[in-house]
C-alpha cells in the first residue's frame, strides 16, 4: 500500500492478548511498544470506564481515531496495540492499514469469557450475560478485523510465548524489520 509505514499493529477482541503480546514482542524485536487505550487514559487523565461513563462511547471512538492519526505522524517505528473496537470505524481501518503490518489476534468467545469474567474495567462487558454479549460483538466485528489484517493468528490454544514466536517468524518471512 502506498505510504504504508513500518509499524507493527496488534488488533483483536478484548482479552485476545494484544497488550501482553505487544510487551513481549517489544522485548523480542527490540522495538518500543505503545497501547492506544493507555495513551487515551494518560491524555484524558481518566480510565476508559470513566470516559465511557462521562463522555460516552462515540467520544471514546473519536479519541481512538485521534491516537491513530498521531501515530501516523511519528517517525520512529513501533509496535502499537489498539483497543478491541478500534477497527469498527471504516476510517480507523484505513488508518490501521496505513500505519503498518496489521496482526489480528483471533480468539473465540469462550476463551475471552474465561479470561475476562472477573474483570470490571471493560464497560462494554458489564452486562448480565457477558458471554452472549461477547458472541454478539465478535460476530459483528469479525469482518472488520479480517478486513484490515495482514496476518491472522488463532490464539486460543497457544501460550503467549508461542504467539510471539509465530508473529516474529511471520514478520521475518514478510521482511518486516
Ligand atoms: C473495547 C476494548 C477495550 C477498550 C474499551 C472498548 C472494545 O480495549 O478500548 O473498553 O470496544 O472492544 P481492550 O481490547 O484492550 O480490552
**Rounded distance between C-alpha atoms, residue 66 and residue 55, angstroms:** 16
Test site for ligand 1: of 23, 33, 37, most ligand atoms within 8 A of the Cβ? 37
Strand order through the sheet with 33-35: 33-35, 79-81, 7-12, 100-106, 151-154
Measured CA to CA in angstroms, residue 72 lies from 7, 67, 100 at distances of 9, 9, 9
Q: Which grid cell sits at 1? A: 500500500
Residue 17 confidence (pLDDT): 96
Q: Report residue 11: phi and psi, to 5°.
A: -120, 165
Q: Which of the residues in the chain have pLDDT under 70?
A: 1-4
In short, whether 88's Cβ falls inside 6 Å of ligand 1 is no
Question: Is 0.85 topped by the overall pTM?
Answer: yes
Task: Compute the C-alpha angle 160/111/159, nearest 5°.
Answer: 15
pLDDT of amino acid 4 = 67
In this prediction, residue 3 carries a pLDDT of: 57
Residue 48 beta carbon below 6 angstroms from any ligand 1 atom: yes
- Per-residue pLDDT at 75: 81
* Separation CA 21–CA 130 (nearest Å): 24
**Cα–Cα distance between 24 and 47 in angstroms, integer?**
24
| 177 burial type by CB count under 10 A (0-12 exposed, 13-18 middle, 19+ buried) | exposed
Helix (H) or strand (E) holding 10: strand 7-12
Best probe residue, ligand 1, of 67, 122, 135 (max atoms within 8 Å of C-beta): 122
State residue 177's pLDDT score. Answer: 72
Cell of 163: 504467539
Amino acid at each position: 500500500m502506498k505510504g504504508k509505514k513500518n509499524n507493527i499493529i496488534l488488533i483483536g477482541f478484548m482479552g485476545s492478548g494484544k497488550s501482553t503480546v505487544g510487551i513481549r514482542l517489544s522485548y523480542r524485536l527490540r522495538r518500543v511498544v505503545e497501547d492506544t487505550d493507555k495513551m487515551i487514559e494518560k491524555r484524558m487523565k481518566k480510565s476508559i470506564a470513566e470516559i465511557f461513563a462521562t463522555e460516552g462511547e462515540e467520544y471514546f471512538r473519536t479519541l481512538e481515531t485521534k491516537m491513530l492519526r498521531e501515530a501516523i505522524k511519528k517517525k520512529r517505528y513501533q509496535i502499537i496495540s489498539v483497543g478491541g473496537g478500534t477497527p469498527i470505524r471504516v476510517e480507523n481501518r484505513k488508518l490501521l492499514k496505513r500505519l503498518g503490518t496489521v496482526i489480528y489476534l483471533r480468539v473465540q468467545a469462550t476463551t475471552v469469557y474465561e479470561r475476562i469474567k472477573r474483570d470490571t474495567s471493560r464497560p462494554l462487558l458489564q452486562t448480565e450475560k457477558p458471554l452472549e454479549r461477547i458472541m454478539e460483538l465478535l460476530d459483528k466485528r469479525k469482518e472488520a478485523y479480517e478486513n484490515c489484517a495482514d496476518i491472522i493468528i488463532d490464539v486460543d490454544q497457544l501460550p503467549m510465548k508461542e504467539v510471539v514466536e509465530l508473529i516474529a517468524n511471520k514478520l521475518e518471512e514478510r521482511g518486516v524489520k
